[in-house]
Amino acid sequence: KDMKTALSIKGLVVRYGAVEALKGIDIEVKEGEIVALLGANGAGKTSTLRTISGLVEPAEGSIMLYDEEIAGKEAEKVAGLGIAQSPEGRAVFRDFTVEENLKIGAFTLKDKQQIQKNFERVYKYFPVLEERKNQVASTLSGGEQQMLAIARALMSSPKVLLLDEPSLGLAPLIVQDIMNIVKEIRQEGTTIIIVEQNAAQTLKIADYAYLLELGQINTHGESEVLRNDPKLIEAYLGSH
Ligand code: ATP
């Protein structure tokens, strides 16, 4: 396999005052892959995503999106360069309709035809959102709001899609649905970084995974290999 690197993180350090949330991590994401960031609460997964998308400024390190250094760039600039984040906690615009939320997701695009194509694409992945396009987001179920958050991120035609805990608080069947759709999104060419506490299920769809522990990469490898590593199963995967 001779795949291009879509995102390359080197020596990334993030500090919040005296707290060092990331202690110099290296992550490489190949174009068209799903890469999982796994780890316990407070390991630094969300900090990693927020630093990539420009919401948190790194203290040290480099983040290359293809040939472009994006570390420390403003969130709006990073979004324009092709990174979209679906945030934890389904931060959709609650008083806006589904359609309005999706339109906001396309704010970096000018081409009306492209926006129309993206609407068609996300409605294909999430037919329930098309059925509910005129409904305000606050009236959607938890699973539907999560779908809307992912769909909204996809509306900008991102090169790299960042998903923060898409399975959080959802029933197992809905989690399965969402994981299947994430796989489909990858199959159509979008590179994906997914942060999850649900390690077992995420390793089934990811190509490669990094295990974060207290701001450092503890282990990394192909999902297939990690899934079958008895020590990892015991330490991180529980009895799923
Ligand atoms: P979770 O799944 O709970 O979001 P996480 O792996 O995503 O966990 P982070 O949210 O990145 O971890 O947090 C990493 C560390 O940084 C934690 O110790 C957390 O308390 C700390 N932290 C995160 N955000 C801030 C902040 N804005 N100010 C101070 N400390 C923070």
Query: ipTM of this predicted complex?
Result: 0.91
> Which two three-digit tokens encode residue 187?
């199959």
In our burial notation (b when 16+ CB lie closer than 10 A, e otherwise), range 53-79 reads bbebebbebebbbeeeebbbbeeeebb
Distance of CA 48 to the CA centre of its chain: 11
Interacting residues of 117 by C-beta distance below 8 A, sequence separation 6+: none
pLDDT of residue 162: 96
* Long-range contacts, 216-222 (Cβ 8 Å, 24+): 216/23, 216/24, 216/25, 217/25, 217/26, 217/27, 218/39, 220/27
For ligand 1, pick from 13, 16, 51 the residue to mutate: most ligand atoms within 8 Å of CB.
Answer: 16
Cβ proximity of 113 and 157 under 8 Å: no
pLDDT of residue 197: 84
pLDDT of residue 173: 84
pLDDT of residue 239: 43
Beta bridge partners of 13: 23, 60
Kindly report the protein residue whose alpha carbon is nearest to atom 28 of ligand 1.
16
Q: Could you tell me the distance, in angstroms and rounded to a whole number, from the CA of residue 47 to the centre of ligand 1? A: 6
DSSP single-letter state for residue 108: T
Cα–Cα distances in angstroms (integers) from residue 175 to residues 44, 86, 152, 167, in the given order = 23, 15, 18, 5
| Pairing verdict, β 60-65 and 191-196 | unpaired
pLDDT of residue 238: 57
Cβ proximity of 146 and 139 under 8 Å: no
Cα–Cα distances in angstroms (integers) from residue 119 to residues 10, 29, 57, in the given order = 35, 27, 32
- For the sheet with 19-30, list strands across it: 19-30, 5-16, 60-65, 68-69
Q: Could you tell me the distance, in angstroms and rounded to a whole number, from the CA of residue 94 to the centre of ligand 1? A: 25
pTM above 0.95, yes or no: no
Cβ proximity of 115 and 106 under 8 Å: yes
pLDDT of residue 1: 56
For ligand 1, pick from 15, 19, 210 the residue to mutate: most ligand atoms within 8 Å of CB.
Answer: 19
Print pLDDT tens along the chain (240 aa). 568 999 999 999 999 999 999 999 999 999 999 999 998 888 999 999 999 999 999 999 999 999 999 999 999 999 999 999 988 766 888 899 999 999 999 988 889 999 999 999 999 999 999 999 999 999 998 889 989 999 999 999 999 999 999 888 888 888 888 899 999 999 988 999 999 888 888 999 999 999 999 999 999 999 999 988 877 777 766 544
pLDDT of residue 174: 85
